[in-house]
Amino acid sequence: MSLNRRDFLKASAGASGSLLISLSLPGCAGLPTGYQEETGQWRPDAWLELTRDDRIFFTLARVEMGQGTYTGLTTLIAEELDVPPETIEQRFAPVADEYRNPLYNLQLTGGSTSVATSWEPLRTAGASARQMLVMAAARVWNVEAINCSTQEGRVVHPNGIDSMPYGKLVELASKEVIRGDVALKPRDQWKYIGKQNHRLDAELKSTGAPIYGIDVELPGMVHAVVTRSPRYGGKAREFNADSVRAMPGVLDVFEIERGIAVVADKYWRARKAQAALKVDWDYSEALGLSTADVFDSYSRAAKDEEGESERSEGDYGEAEASADQVVEAEYQQPYLAHATLEPMNATAWYRGDRMEVWAPTQGPDLARIAVARVTDLSPEDVTVNTTFLGGGFGRRLTQDYIEEVAAIAFRTDRPVKLIWSREEDTQHDLYRPAMLHRMKASLKQKDVTGWHHQIVGPQILNWYVRNAGPAQFPWTPKFLYDTLGTVGVWAEGLATPKDTSAIEGAVEYPYQVANIDIRHTHTDPGVPISYWRSVGYSHNGFAVETFMDELAHQAGDDPYRFRRRMLAQEPRYLAVLDRAARLGNWDSDVPDGRARGIAVVRSFGTYVAQVVEAGIENGAIRVYRVSAAVDCGQVINPRIVSDQIEGGILFGLTAALYGEITLEQGEVQQSNFHNYQLLRQYDKPEVAVDIVDSRAEPTGVGEPGVPPVIPALGNALFALTGKRQRTLPLKADA
């Protein structure tokens, strides 16, 4: 993204003479949120603060959930400020317009956008601070600023001998004015970008430091648990409040919107009391369907409505009419839980008509709305402190757990921590939607002449706007929150980007085919859904790349070369495909009992191709090796890129091998890691990651490792067994 640097940079003197650099991102100006700056008035929550005692504070506007923003974004600042990244201290951002993600106009971390949206603004912040420090030093020494240099936190005199630490200069520097654009370092002078290989949070995370939401401890804190309706949407008719209230340590038992809360002095006492809680649920408005009903409803919808056209080129009907052969296939993917290892939790303290929340959340501004929604408070009365996240994967974009803790804290005169059990976390998640794909392709003389893809399933934004709409316009009266949520959907593309959650990964179909018809048949069975690492790409990637494999087989062609030929106009796709094929020894003999599969998916701007080598051992699928090539533009931290791609591969394999949430009369059947399994150390394949050395604008790596591995594994199993699996998860005995 290209920004005019002068427009959004502000610098000033902060309290006790420190230098503050703050950025106002475009698109935020003029919103009457109460956060408007007065002329000459500087906020304490600047992005970058340099103090007189030589400390550097960087406010991290994106949360750290394992994806590496803590290190990556700090590296961008450090590079231009010319200090080692290790010397910068991080703060997690409070809720404020400046910290919004410009792509969503919300302060959220998701969509693999952190580096892409920070690349220019953060380097500019660092460079501006550095330039002001240099100007101040030049004034002190009475020399030309252009002849001064910087090195590791000091400005160096033109004589090359004298120098001054930044701390000595910050007060003077805050009065300097930069005219014109500040120059960014040329690539050949980078010390840390593309080279920084350490994670700045590794020590905290290897020593048991209390950095997660679940670790928050406050004076006089009490503990809450919530019993929710086993069927989504059920309401408590009655419950044995009095007998539970009489149990040891129990402080209160009451109903909240989402269930029955038990508050006790200790966590384990709350759990024991919860076990004695008996609730008579009214299911008259609850979800009562089973998984089979979901897919039946998808099949009916697919037949009844051809769906909205999402991409149309040429004339598919014509292509089919003149084809030698028409290939058809139907793919199904199940609901999936997020299963962050840190279960949902949050802590809240209601005092003096204000609510303070401590939470692992991907959307602190949404959290504020969530609190306001369930209390008498307005968003301005709510402070959100973001902690490190023990995994996110999209789960913590939805603030249901914060609504719960806020509702409980509002009735409790002490700070209260809410922790979900693993069973609650699995059964009351908002799931990656189950999806159905109907694919058709026309072949003429072995060439693909037409591609028809009908996607059947819900859109996630419909579930998400509830808090997102008001968070964008927090001055809205609360009685309009629900209306605003709906307007958010109507105004898609204005207040929010178009909801691509159902179609992404399908509409960007990259292969050269003359006649293309891609449609979305919208149908929502009412099962709660949300964003799940790689979102639409997670299911469309499987449908598209498996069907491409089927077509290669029908055309009697090698699946790699078949794709290759159809990507002639797409150099970045081609490059990763070729590199993955080479890394995965595509053309060499495969050991007995194994086979290879290939797939390539671009998601969130990043190109990833993978070759999977797999077999079947002792009646189970065994993945031996995954070879990945990735082009994410300019790399900030090669180690983190490779770790994220590998992590995405293992996340995708978990889905491919085990992932399935099923419903029986509205109740989720899985509960813990014995029946919702995650890939274990023993199952882990060897993973090799090849990163393309690119100068393109950087794109995200948090999600793009996930999509290709699922079809690549399925394609390998087809090569091994000759049986095509069109339903996930994959089976050894299909």
Provide, rounded to whole angstroms, the least separation between the CB of residue 643 and another protein: 6
Q: Does 687 bind another protein (CB under 8 A)?
A: yes
Cβ-based nearer residue to another protein, 489 or 678: 678
Query: Smallest Cα–Cα separation from 574: which of 638, 515, 631, 501?
Result: 631
Tell me if 670 sits within 8 A of 661, measured CB to CB: yes
Q: What is the DSSP string of 210-260?
A: S-BGGG---TT-EEEEEE--SBTT-EEEEE-HHHHHTSTTEEEEEEETTEE
Q: Tell me how far apart the alpha carbons of residues 129 and 94 are, in angstroms, rounded to a whole number.
A: 22
Q: Does 678 bind another protein (CB under 8 A)?
A: yes
Query: Smallest Cα–Cα separation from 386: which of 688, 63, 647, 9?
Result: 63
Q: Does 44 bind another protein (CB under 8 A)?
A: no
Provide, rounded to whole angstroms, the least separation between the CB of residue 217 and another protein: 7
Provide, rounded to whole angstroms, the least separation between the CB of residue 692 and another protein: 21
Say how many residues touch another protein, by CB under 8 A.
Answer: 62
Residues 613-642 that bind another protein (CB under 8 A): 639
Q: Does 267 bind another protein (CB under 8 A)?
A: yes
Provide, rounded to whole angstroms, the least separation between the CB of residue 67 and another protein: 7
Tell me if 631 sits within 8 A of 609, measured CB to CB: no
Q: Does 329 bind another protein (CB under 8 A)?
A: no
Provide, rounded to whole angstroms, the least separation between the CB of residue 398 and another protein: 18
Q: Tell me how far apart the alpha carbons of residues 624 and 633 are, in angstroms, rounded to a whole number.
A: 29
- Binder of another protein out of 55, 198, 411, 478 (CB under 8 A): 198
- Rg of the chain over all Cα atoms, to the nearest angstrom: 27
Tell me if 262 sits within 8 A of 224, measured CB to CB: yes
Q: Does 201 bind another protein (CB under 8 A)?
A: yes
Q: Tell me how far apart the alpha carbons of residues 317 and 328 are, in angstroms, rounded to a whole number.
A: 14
- Binder of another protein out of 392, 541, 704, 708 (CB under 8 A): 392
- Provide the mask over 396-425, with x wherever binding to another protein is found by CB under 8 A and - wherever it is not: -----------------------x-xxx--
Cβ-based nearer residue to another protein, 209 or 276: 209
Q: Does 340 bind another protein (CB under 8 A)?
A: yes
Q: Does 199 bind another protein (CB under 8 A)?
A: yes
Provide, rounded to whole angstroms, the least separation between the CB of residue 345 and another protein: 9
Residue 183 CB contacts under 8 Å (≥ 6 apart), including other chains: 127, 131
Q: Tell me how far apart the alpha carbons of residues 707 and 600 are, in angstroms, rounded to a whole number.
A: 8
Residue 673 CB contacts under 8 Å (≥ 6 apart), including other chains: 339, 422
Q: Does 584 bind another protein (CB under 8 A)?
A: no
- Provide the mask over 647-666, with x wherever binding to another protein is found by CB under 8 A and - wherever it is not: xxxxx---------------
- Binder of another protein out of 57, 141, 190, 212 (CB under 8 A): 212
CA distances (Å), origin 37, targets 13, 45, 365: 14, 12, 19
Tell me if 64 sits within 8 A of 640, measured CB to CB: no
Provide, rounded to whole angstroms, the least separation between the CB of residue 49 and another protein: 26
Cβ-based nearer residue to another protein, 153 or 702: 702
* Most distant pair of Cα atoms in the chain: their distance: 82
Q: Is 111 exposed, middle or buried (0-12, 13-18, 19+ CB in 10 A)?
A: buried
Check whether the bond before 379 is cis (ω within 30° of 0).
Answer: no
Of 239-247, 386-394, 456-464, 500-508, which part binds another protein (CB under 8 A)? 386-394
Q: Does 348 bind another protein (CB under 8 A)?
A: no
- Binder of another protein out of 157, 231, 269, 452 (CB under 8 A): 269
Q: Does 306 bind another protein (CB under 8 A)?
A: no
Cβ-based nearer residue to another protein, 411 or 684: 684
Provide, rounded to whole angstroms, the least separation between the CB of residue 613 and another protein: 16
Report the sign of the C-alpha dihedral through residues 495, 498, 500, 504, in that order: negative
3 state SS of 381: helix
Q: Is 2 exposed, middle or buried (0-12, 13-18, 19+ CB in 10 A)?
A: exposed
Provide, rounded to whole angstroms, the least separation between the CB of residue 328 and another protein: 35
Residue 463 CB contacts under 8 Å (≥ 6 apart), including other chains: 398, 430, 528, 529, 530
Q: Does 215 bind another protein (CB under 8 A)?
A: yes
Cβ-based nearer residue to another protein, 211 or 327: 211
Q: Contact positions toward another protein, by CB under 8 A?
A: 65-68, 197-199, 201-212, 214-215, 217, 248, 266-269, 272, 339-343, 388-393, 419, 421-423, 639, 643-644, 646-651, 672-674, 678-682, 684, 687
